[in-house]
Amino acid sequence: MLNNIGLPGILLIAVVVLVLFGRGKISSLMGEVGKGITSFKKGVKEGAEELSEDASELAKDVTPETDKDKV
């Protein structure tokens, strides 16, 4: 169904959306979308860093408790 939409169809949809919502509303909406994407990327990066920190903390000391007293 969507395979038949060409350039004229996309332009028509863009014009209708622009007329319905106005330029100001669309630009503010795109600004919010951009902020959301940036926030999502930041959250993914922080989550990956947190997981790697947790993994490194678990891997630091692998000596059994009984062998720690012998050293």
Residue 27 confidence (pLDDT): 84
What pTM was estimated for this model as a whole? 0.52
DSSP class of 62: -
Looking at every residue in the chain, the average pLDDT score rounds to 82
**Domain ranges within the chain, ordered by starting residue:** 32-56
pLDDT digits (tens, 9 = 90+) for 14-33: 889 888 888 888 888 889 99
Query: Concatenated DSSP letters for 19-57?
Result: HHH-HHHHHHHHHHHHHHHHHHHHHHHHHHHHHHHHHHH
- Token code pair at residue 17: 């959306």
User: Averaged over 37-62, what is the pLDDT?
Assistant: 83
**Binning pLDDT at 50, 70 and 90, where does residue 59 land?**
low
